Amino acid sequence: MTGDSLRARARPAVTDAGLNATVGAATRHLTTERIKAFEELANGEELRVSARSVRERTLARLPELLGLLADRVEAAGGKVFFASDGAEACRYVIEVARRRGAHLIAKSKSMVSEEIGLTPALERAGLEVVETDLGEWIVQLAGQPPSHVVAPAMHLNRRDIAGIFARHGAEGIGDEPTVLTAHARRELRRVFLSADVGISGCNFAVAETGTVCLVTNEGNGRLVTSVPPVHLAIMGMERVVGTWAELDLLVSLLARSATGQALSAYTTMVTGPRRPGEVDGPEEFHLVVLDGGRSAALGGAYREALHCIRCGACLNICPVYRQIGGHAYGSVYGGPIGAVVSPLLCGDEFRDLRLASSLCGACYQVCPVMIPLQDLLLQERRDAAGKAGRAERWLWRLWARAWGSSRVYRLSARVARWGARLLPGRWVPRWGAGRDLPHDPARWGRREKGRPGGA
Amino acid sequence: MERDRFLARLSASLAEARPRANRAHPAVVCDEVVPAVYRRSLEDLPLAFCEAATREGACVRRVTGPPGVGELLAEVVRSHGVRTAVLSGDPETQGVARELQALGVRVLPWDGPHAAAEADLGVTGAVCAIAATGSIVVAADRAGGRTASLLPPVHLALVPEQALVATTAGLWREMEGFFPRGLPSQVVVITGPSRTGDIELILTRGVHGPGHLWIGILGAGGPDRSMG
C-alpha cells in the first residue's frame, strides 16, 4: 500500500503520544480480559496444544476438506467459487451483484476482503458498499484502512470519531460512545433493510456439513446474512475445519483470545440459502474460497502462519504493536502475525516487517494455536541474511570465529571498553541511537567466581 | 478458477512441502480434540446458566407454568414500554400472543424482516441453552426465523429447562442430535445482548441487534399448552 519503509512509517507513530495512549490502553485492556477468560478453564493450555494439532492436521488434508466443503455447500443449495487470486474473487462478486441488478451492498467485517481490496473493486464497478461493523464503518468514513484485525478503529478515540461523524452529517451529537453508537445503529439499519447483497467473511467453515461460521458481537454479521436477498461469504481457504468438534475447540479459543469472552455475542452458522418453509433469509448463497498466495505458503517454510485464526491476541501483547499501532505496518495484517503473513499473502514489499519485532516471544505465549511466531520471524531474518553481500557475510564469519576464542573475546572487550564512549552514537548512528554498551564490556556473558549465572 | 485445478495446485504444493521441524518449539501431537473444562461446577445447570447469562448482560427469570410466563411478559412490557411485538411460532411461545394482547401489546402479523423491524419486542423459543456460557440457541427453521430475535430492540427467549446443556460441547459435538433432519439454513448461538467495544473499547449495548435480552427458563414440564 505504501512505497516507503517500515522505519519511515513507524517514525511518526512512535512519537504520536495520543496514538500511543489510545492503542496502549486498548491492547492492555484486551490482554487482561484474555487472561481472565482463560482463568475460568481448568485446561486452557491443553486446549492450545490440541488446537495446534488440529490446525496441522487440517492443513495436511486441505484439498480433501475443501472438496468436501464445496460438495456440502452445493448440496445445501449454495454456490461455491474457487478464486486463485484476489482479482478473480473480486470479478466473481461483481458478476453476482450485476446479475442481481444490485446497487447497494452491506458488508460485515472480513479481513480477506481487505486483503484483496474488495470494497474499492466493487466501488470501481459502480456499486455502493457500506461497511456495517461499527469500527469498520468509522474507518471507512474516515477513508482509512483498519488498524487491528479485531478492533479496526482501535487507533481512534471518541473525539476523533465524533469528528468523523460530524464531517458526515452528524454534527453536534457530542462524543458519548452510547450516542455515537446509537447514531450508527440508525444510519446502518436503513442500509441493512435496503441492501441488495450482503457480504460477510468466514471465521471457520465446517466441511462435514458445508457450514460457514461467523463470530461477531454487534449483530451486523447476522443482519448481512439474513436480510438482503443474496448472501455472499468470502474465506481464505485455510479457514476450513473438518468437524463440529474441531469448531467447538477453535471457537472457544477464538472468542477468549480475541476479546476475553467465553463466546462472542453471536456465533452464526450458515448452511446454504433459505429453505422452503423458512420465513426469512436470502434466496442465494455464495461461498468464495480464496487462494491468494496460500497454496504457495502451504509448501513453504512459513506454513504454520496459515494456522492463524485471526484473534489478534499477538497484536495486543506485542511491545512493537503497542508502540506503533497497526497502520505503521502498512499492511492490512499488522502485529507479529502480520509481519509473517503479509509477505506471503500481500506481496514482497512487506518483507521488512520481520524487523518490527523484539523477538521476545510473547506472541507465541498467547497464540491460541501456538504458532511459534518468533521462530518464523527469525527464519525470515535468516533468509534475508542469506541474501546479504559477500563482504558482509565474510565480516560476520570473521567476527564469529574471533569471539569463539576466549582470549580474543577478552581482548576485544577491553578495546570495546575504550571505544564504548565513542562507538554507538557516532559510528553506527542508527543502531547505536537506541543502545548503550554496558559500562564494563569485559564482563559480557562471562561466568565469574561467586556470581552464579555470571554478570 | 476451476475447482479441480484449484485443488490440484494445493495437492502439488503439499506434496512438495518439506516441513522443517521446529526444534525450539516443537509441536506436540494430540489426536484428541479436547473440550473445554471449567473450574467452577456446572452441576446445577439452571443455576449455572442464570449466573453466566446474567454476567453476559441478559435478564434471566426462572418461571413455572402459564402464570409465570404471564408475569415475565408483563415485566418485559413494563420495563421497555413495549407497544408492538413479533412472535415466532415455536412451541414455547404458544399462548404468548393472547397474553401480550391482554397487556395491550399489538402483535404484528409475520411478513418477514420488515414486520420484525417495526416491532418493539421479539419473542422466540430456543433449541437449547448452554449453562457455562449463558447462551441460547435459535434456529431459522422454526417460525420466527432469523429476524424475530434480531431486529427488535428487545428479545425475549423462552427456553424449557430440559433444553439446557453444560458446555458448548453439548451443542457443537451433538449437532446431529439437535438437528436429526439436517441443519437449518441458519443457527445462532446468542450470548448476551448485541454489543460493541469499537469506541475506546467501552462496552456499548444494542449496536445492531437487540440491546436487551430477556431469557425465561421454563420450569420442568414447560409451558402449559392449554394456555394457547
Closest Cβ–Cβ partner in A219, A272, A364 for B207: A219
Between B22, B145, B196, which is nearest A217 by CB?
B196
Concatenating the DSSP letter of every residue in A51-101 gives HHHHHHHHHHTHHHHHHHHHHHHHHTT-EEEEESSHHHHHHHHHHHHHHTT
The x, y and z cell numbers of residue A330, run together, are 502498512
Q: Is the Cβ–Cβ distance between A106 and A113 less than 8 Å?
A: no
Q: Does the beta-carbon distance from A84 to B1 stay under 8 Å? A: yes
The answer to whether the beta carbons of residues B228 and B95 sit under 8 Å apart is yes
- Note the Cα A351 to chain centre separation in Å: 16
Residues of A in contact with B12 (CB under 8 A): 299
Highest mean pLDDT among A145-149, B141-145, B210-214: B210-214
Contact list, A267 vs chain B (CB under 8 Å): 188-189, 191
Q: Residue A265 and residue A339: Cα distance in Å, rounded? A: 30
Query: Distance between CA B171 and CA B159 in Å, rounded?
Result: 15
Q: Please state the separation of Cα B186 from the chain's center in Å.
A: 11
Residues of B in contact with A39 (CB under 8 A): 39
**B88, B171, B201, B215: best mutation site toward chain A, by most A Cβ within 10 Å?**
B201
CA distance B134 to B132: 6
Q: Which DSSP symbol is given to A448?
A: B
Which strand ranges, in their side-by-side order, compose the sheet holding A128-131? Answer: A79-83, A284-290, A230-236, A197-200, A104-107, A128-131
B79: phi then psi, degrees, rounded to nearest 5: -65, -35
So what's the pLDDT on residue A35?
96
pLDDT one-digit tens code per residue, B27-75: 888 889 999 999 999 999 999 999 999 999 999 999 998 899 999 999 9
**Are the C-beta atoms of residues B65 and B219 closer than 8 Å to each other?**
yes
* Amino acid, res. A132: T
- Helices in chain B by DSSP H: which ranges? 3-16, 45-55, 65-80, 96-102, 113-118, 169-172, 175-178
Q: Which pLDDT score is estimated for A266?
A: 97
A152-188: per-residue pLDDT in tens?
999 999 999 999 999 998 888 999 999 999 999 999 9
Determine whether the interchain pair A263/B197 forms a contact, defined as Cβ–Cβ distance below 8 Å: no
**Cα atoms found within 13 Å of the Cα of residue A358, Cβ hemisphere only:** 15
Interface contacts A/B by beta carbons within 8 Å:
286
* pLDDT of amino acid A422: 58
For residue A228, what is the DSSP state?
A: S
Instruction: Say if the Cβ atoms of B199 and A299 lie within 8 Å.
Output: no
A136 → chain B, closest CA residue: B198
Percent of chain B with pLDDT over 90: 74
Are A291 and B11 contacting, i.e. CB atoms less than 8 angstroms apart? no
A243/B33 Cβ within 8 A: yes
Structural contact between residues A231 and A268, judged by C-beta atoms closer than 8 angstroms:
no
Please judge whether B24 and A189 are an interchain contact, meaning their C-beta atoms are less than 8 angstroms apart.
no
Q: Is B4 on the interface with A (CB under 8 A)?
A: no
Residues 6+ apart with CB under 8 A from B88: B122, B123, B124, B125, B142, B143, B144, B145, B148, B149
| Separation of first and last alpha carbons in chain B | 55
pLDDT at position A1 is 44
Residue of A nearest to B19 (CA): A301
Instruction: Judge whether A94 and A125 are in contact, CB under 8 Å.
Output: yes
* Per-residue pLDDT, A435: 65
CB contacts under 8 A, B 42-81 vs A, are 52, 56
Whole-number pLDDT of residue A104: 98
What is the rounded distance in angstroms from the CA atom of residue B126 to the CA atom of residue B124? Answer: 7
* Cβ neighbours, 10 Å, residue A251: 23
Q: Do B168 and A248 count as a contact with CB atoms less than 8 A apart?
A: yes
Query: In whole angstroms, what is the distance from residue B200 CA to residue A154 CA?
Result: 7
Average pLDDT over residues B101-115: 90
Confidence (pLDDT) at B225: 39
Positive or negative: CA dihedral A346, A347, A348, A349: negative
pLDDT per residue as tens digits for the range A116-128: 999 999 999 999 9
Q: State whether residue A353 is helix, strand or coil.
A: helix
Sign of CA dihedral A341, A343, A344, A346: positive
Distances (CA, A) of A141 to A130, A146, A164, B59: 9, 11, 7, 35
Mean pLDDT of the B182-204 span: 94
* pLDDT at residue A230 in the model: 98
What residues does B129 pair with on adjacent strands? B136, B164
Closest chain B residue to the Cα of A270, Cα to Cα: B186
**Are the CB atoms for B182 and B26 separated by under 8 Å?**
no
> Would you call A223 and B183 a contact, using CB atoms and an 8 Å cutoff?
no
pLDDT tens, per residue, chain A with 455 residues: 445 889 899 999 999 999 999 999 999 999 999 999 999 999 999 999 999 999 999 999 999 999 999 999 999 999 999 999 999 999 999 999 999 999 999 999 999 999 999 999 999 999 999 999 999 999 999 999 999 988 999 999 999 999 999 999 888 899 999 999 999 999 999 999 999 999 999 999 999 999 999 999 999 999 999 999 999 999 999 999 999 999 999 999 999 999 999 999 999 999 999 999 888 999 999 999 999 999 999 999 899 999 999 999 999 999 999 999 999 999 999 999 999 999 999 998 999 999 999 999 999 999 999 999 999 999 999 888 877 788 888 888 888 898 888 888 888 777 776 666 555 555 666 666 666 665 555 555 555 555 554 43
| Residue of chain A with shortest Cα separation from B110 | A279
Which residue in B has a C-alpha nearest to residue A75's C-alpha?
B182
Q: Residue B202 in contact with residue B145, Cβ under 8 Å?
A: no
Say yes or no to pLDDT of B104 above 70.
Answer: yes
| Contact between chains at B199 and A82 (C-beta distance less than 8 A) | no
| C-alpha grid cell, residue A319 | 511491545
